[in-house]
Structure 1
Amino acid sequence: MIRIAHISDTHITQDPAFKSYAYDLIVNEVNRSDFDLVIHTGDVTNQGLKEEYEHASYLIRKIEKPLIVLPGNHDARNVGYELFEKYIGPLYGVYERDDLVIIWIDSTIPDLSDGRVGGYKFRWLKEKLEEYSHKKFKIVAAHHHLVPLPDTGRERNVLYNAGDVLDLLLRHEVNLYLCGHKHVPNVYSIEDLVVVNAGCTSCRKTRKGDVNSYNIIKLNGDGRIDVTIRRVTGDEEKKSYKSVKPKLFIPKGKHLLRIVQMSESNVSDRIYFRKRVLENAIRAINEKYKPDLVIHCGDIVDVGIERYYEAAAGYYEKIKAEKMIVPGHNDITYLGYDLFKEYFGEPEIKEFGDFVFIPLLTAQYETPIGVVGRMGQRLLKSLLEEHKEKFTAVVMHHNLIPIPRSRELGFLEDAGNVLKILTEERTELVMTGHGGNAFGVRIERTPIVNAGSVSWELQRDPFGNSFNLIDIYEDMIVAFEIQATWGSRKLLGIWKIKTEVPWKNNG
C-alpha cells in the first residue's frame, strides 16, 4: 500500500489571507503520519512575488516527506514561474517508485486564472503515459480542475483543452488525476479514472463556510483507491473506488428501450447546412433503427427566424417515433424563443412506463453560455426525487463534461452544481448536445452522452456528421455513434446498470 498526502492552494504570503496556523497543523499531522510522499498541486504563493517565494521556500521545507510541488495560476503571476523553478522546483516532471508513476505538469497560463495543457506539453504528457504504460498505478497531477466542481460560483478556469486531456487520460488508463485551484475538496470517478480535487490548505478563501483541508490517498495492492478528505476540524469524508473488470459486457437482460439522440442540425439556407445528410439520417432512423424515442438536444435551427423553423418542422415531422426536442442557444436567437414554442412546443416530461425523461432548459438569449440557475437546480432535484422509483433520464443542450476537440470555456456556468445533483441522485442517463463532437463517459454511476452534429458542416468530429443510438437493457446501457451518411458505428460506451434499482422491480 502507498499513502499519499495531497495538499494544495497554500497561498503563502505575508498578509492575513495566509492562515499559518492551518498550514502548521496540516504539515505537523502529515509529518507524524506514515505517508510515503506529499503532492502539492499548486498555488504555493499568493502573487508569485519574490518575497513570497522566499517565505514559501522556508515553509515548504517543514514537510519531512518526499515532496512533489507543481505550479498554480497564482504562482505564475508576475513572471513567478521563473521564480518557482529557482525556489521550489521543476515545473513538470516524473516520479517513479515500484509500481507507481506520478507525472506532473504545468497547466498555468501567465497572468490568467485559466489553464491549458496544450502544444508541446500535451505531446510530452502523451509520450510519458506511453513510456510508463506498464505501471500498475499511474497518477497525473496538474493545478487546474478537469471537470466542473460544485460550490464554486460561476464555472470557469477549467483547462481550455480539458476534453482532450480527459480523453488522453482515459485512453491510457490513468488511475488518478490530482488537482486543486478552486478551493473545493471533491472526488469523482470518471469511468476508472478517479479525479481528486484538493481544498485549500492554508488560505482564508474557502467556499460556503468550509474550513481548510487536505486529502489522504491510499493505493492498495488489490487496485482499490481510497480517498479521504480530512478537514482541520477532524471531520472526514471517505470514498473508495476499484476499477471495473471486464471492460466489455454482453447484455443478458431484456431489451427495454431504444433512443436516437441528435443535436445541432442547424437547419438553414447556408452552405454549412447539409440537407441531404439530415434527410438520409431521418430515413435511416425510420427504416433501420426504429427507435421508441428520438431526442434532439438543441440547435435545431441555425438562427431563430421563421423560414428556418418552418423548414426544420418539415424535416422533423417525418420522424415516425415519439420526439423530445429541447432548445439550444441558436434556437432562441432573434424570434426563436417564441418560434420554438410555436413549431415544437414547450418541452415537457415524457414517461414511457418505468422510464421518465426530464427536459432541462439551459439556453440563454444571444450567448452560447448556458445556465440552469438556482431555481432550476431546486426543480431538477425535486423532479429526480419525485421519480426516483423509475429510470430517470435528463435531456439538455449544454454539455456537463468537457468535450474533446473543443475549447472549454465553461459553457454551462453552473455545471458543477448541476453535475453534483445528477450524480448524487444517481440519475440513470444524461443526454447533452453541445460542442459538435460525440462523447460518452460515466461519472460516478451516471452515464453522460453528448451528441455530435447531425447535419452541420462546422463540427469537430473526425467521424463526421452523426447521431447516437442508445439501447437500454435490464442490466446495461449501450451507446453507439452512427455516421449520418454511411451508417458506420463507433462505440461510445457500455455501462452496467446498478443491480438494485426500484424501477426494475415494478413489473
Structure 2
Amino acid sequence: MKIAHISDTHITSGEAYKGYAFDLIANEVNTLDYDMVIHTGDVTNEGLREEYERASYELKKIQKPLIVVPGNHDARNVGYELFEKYIGPLNGVYEKDDLVIIWVDSTIPDLSDGRIGGYKFHWLKERLEEYSHKKFKIVASHHHLVPLPDTGRERNVLFNAGDVLDLLLKHDVNLYICGHKHVPNIYKVEGLVVANAGCTSCRKTRKGDVNSYNIIKIKEDGKISVSIKRVTGDITRREFKIKKQRIFVPKKRRLLRIVQMSESNVSDRVYFRERVLKNAIKAINEKYKPDLVIHCGDMVDVGTERYYAKAYEFWEKIKPEKIIVPGHNDITYLGYDLFKEYFGEPKILEMENFAFIPIISAQYETPIGVVGRIGQKILRKHLQEHEEKFRAVIMHHNIIPIPKSREIGFLEDGGNVLKILTDEKANLVLTGHGGNTLGIKVEETPIINAGSISWELHRNPFGNSFNLIDIYEDMIAAFEIQATWGSRKLLGIWKIKTKVPWA
C-alpha cells in the first residue's frame, strides 16, 4: 500500500494559505499510484465556517480515499463541531487486509497544546487491543510525540505524550504519523517509526524550508518506507523492517557497571526518605559494586547551606567514582554557588575507553530547562572529540516524554538536543527529571531516565529506585532497582550493532 501523508494545509482566504502548493500536491497524488491520503490536521487556519466551506471544496480535489484528522487550528472557535459537519468524524478506524489505521483527535479547544487523555485514551487502547491481530498498525493524530528539531522553543507536544508513547510501544504499533510543527522529520523509537509531516500549503515553514508531504509505502515483506518529498522535487527516504521483540543475552565480557540515580532531594522535610537513601547507598557499595555512580540532578530539595551540607555527607559515603550534574532544585536560592562549592563544576570524566559528558540544563527558579545554542555547539563538539570512545551524555532534564507525567516541554530546546544526540550517535544518554523511570532507544541511542531515589513525591508505581546499567562489548542492559527492597525490573536491553573502537 502507498499512502500520501499531508498535513497543515491551513486553508483560509488570507495569505497564510498557498493554494498553488495544495493544487500541485493534490494533482501529483491523483496522478501517481497512491492508494489513499491521510491528512493529519490543521485543515483550516482559524476553524471558521467560511474556511471549512472552502476546505470542503479544496479537499474534493483529492480523488483518492481520504482520512482527515483534526488539528488545533481546526478546533478554534468551536471549529471541532464544524469539522464533523464539513470534513468527517474526529476519531475513527480504517482497515484493509493486514492493515489498520486508527486516527484520534488530540486537540484541546482554543489551545495549541494537545492531549489524548481520559475517554480518548481508553478508546485508543481498546481499538489497539481489538485490532492487535493486524500485521501493520498505524496511529494518526495531529500533535507530535517526541521533540522535533528546528521548531524554536519546544512546546505543544501531547500533555500525556509519555503515556501515549508507552501505549503504542506495548501494542506493537508500527507507525505514528502527525503534523503540527511544520517540520518534516522521521525517527525510529524502539520498533515504532514516528513520522512528522511538514506543511502542505501554509506559508509558515521553518528555516526557509518549502512545502512538502510524506510518502509511506507498506510492503508485503514487512518493510515500511517513509519519504519526505518537497515541492522542489527533493526526496529524503528511509526504510524500516518490522522486527519482532527479542531478548538478547550478553555473550561478551562486561566492560563497565553504572549506577544511575536522581531526585534524592535531601532536606529535613517529611517527603525526604532518609532511611531509603541510606539503604540504597549501602546496597550500592556492598552488593552492586559499580565502577561509576551518576546522579542526574536534584540532589537537594532547595539550595540552602544546611541541605547541601547534609547531602554532601551522603555523597561522600558512596565509594566508587562519582559524577553529578545539577537539577533545577539544586540551583534555587544560593544553590548555584553552593553546588560548585560542595560538588565542583561538572567536567568530562574519562575512564579508559569511556567518556562521560555532563551537560547543564537547569535554570534559576524554574523546572523548565535549556541547553541553549552555545550549549548545543559544545555538546556536538564534545561528542565529535570523543568519537573513538563510548560516549555517555549526562543531564538532568528528560528529552523523551516520561509516562505518568504531564509533559509541558521541560527541556525547551529538546528537539535540537535530541537531533544532535542521534546525529552524532551518542552511545548512551542518562537523564533524571520527571519522577519516573524510562528506558527507550531513539535511532541508535539508548536514553535512560532515573526515577526518584528517596523523595516521596514521585510518579513511579515501582517506588523509590535507582538504575543499574551494565555495558558489555555487544550490548547494554539496564535494570531498575527498588531502593527499599532491592527487587529488580528490566528497563531495556539494546544490542550494539556495529564494531566499536572502544570495546
TM-score range, shorter chain: over 0.9
Give 2:163's aligned residue: 164
Aligned pairs for 1:319-338 within 5 A: 319-338=318-337
Which residue identity is paired with 1:270? R
Q: CA separation in 2, counterparts of 1:18 and 1:246?
A: 44
Give 1:120's aligned residue: 119
- Tell which deviates more after alignment, 186-195 or 495-504: 495-504
**SS of residue matched to 1:430:** strand
Q: CA separation in 2, counterparts of 1:13 and 1:281?
A: 60
Residues 429-449 of structure 1: per-residue CA shift (max 9 Å, x gap): 000000000011000000000
Give 1:221's aligned residue: 220
- Tell which deviates more after alignment, 244-253 or 451-460: 244-253
1:285 positional shift: 0.2
Q: CA separation in 1, counterparts of 2:277 and 2:242?
A: 39
Residues 214-272 of structure 1: per-residue CA shift (max 9 Å, x gap): 00011111211111000000001111112344521001111100000000000000000
2:314 equivalent to 1:315: yes
Give 1:390's aligned residue: 389
Which residue identity is paired with 1:175? N
Q: CA separation in 1, counterparts of 2:253 and 2:241?
A: 28
Q: Which runs of 5+ in 1 are unaligned?
A: none
Tell me: CA distance 1:470–1:226, structure 2 relative to 1, closer, same or farther (3 Å).
Answer: same
Give 2:193's aligned residue: 194
Which residue identity is paired with 2:80? Y
2:468 equivalent to 1:476: no
2:461 equivalent to 1:500: no
Give 2:79's aligned residue: 80
Residues 93-123 of structure 1: per-residue CA shift (max 9 Å, x gap): 0000000000000000000000000000000
**SS of residue matched to 1:91:** coil
Q: CA separation in 2, counterparts of 1:243 and 1:249?
A: 17
User: Could you state the TM-score of these two structures normalised by the residue count of structure 1?
Assistant: 0.99
Give 1:240's aligned residue: 239
Q: CA separation in 2, counterparts of 1:100 and 1:288?
A: 49
Give 2:69's aligned residue: 70
Q: CA separation in 1, counterparts of 2:79 and 2:381?
A: 47
Give 2:48's aligned residue: 49
Q: CA separation in 2, counterparts of 1:131 and 1:188?
A: 27
Q: CA separation in 1, counterparts of 2:489 and 2:321?
A: 25
Which residue identity is paired with 2:27? N
**SS of residue matched to 1:11:** coil
**SS of residue matched to 1:332:** coil
**SS of residue matched to 2:403:** coil
Aligned pairs for 1:267-306 within 5 A: 267-306=266-305
Q: CA separation in 2, counterparts of 1:405 and 1:471?
A: 26
Residues 159-209 of structure 1: per-residue CA shift (max 9 Å, x gap): 000000000000001000000000000000000000000000000000000
Which residue identity is paired with 1:382? K
Which residue identity is paired with 2:2? R
2:152 equivalent to 1:153: yes
Aligned pairs for 1:104-115 within 5 A: 104-115=103-114
Q: CA separation in 2, counterparts of 1:435 and 1:402?
A: 9
Q: CA separation in 1, counterparts of 2:280 and 2:300?
A: 16
Aligned pairs for 1:309-458 within 5 A: 309-458=308-457
Q: CA separation in 2, counterparts of 1:238 and 1:387?
A: 29
Which residue identity is paired with 1:376? G
Q: CA separation in 2, counterparts of 1:246 and 1:146?
A: 22
Q: CA separation in 2, counterparts of 1:503 and 1:294?
A: 20
Which consecutive segments of 4 or more residues in structure 1 shift more than 6 A? none
The Cα RMSD (Å) is: 0.6
- Tell which deviates more after alignment, 240-249 or 169-178: 240-249
1:324 positional shift: 0.5
Which residue identity is paired with 1:160? F
Give 2:489's aligned residue: 490
Residues 11-53 of structure 1: per-residue CA shift (max 9 Å, x gap): 0001111001100011111111111111000000000000000
Which residue identity is paired with 1:49? L
Aligned length: 503
Which residue identity is paired with 2:93? V
Residues 356-392 of structure 1: per-residue CA shift (max 9 Å, x gap): 0000000000000000000000010011111111110
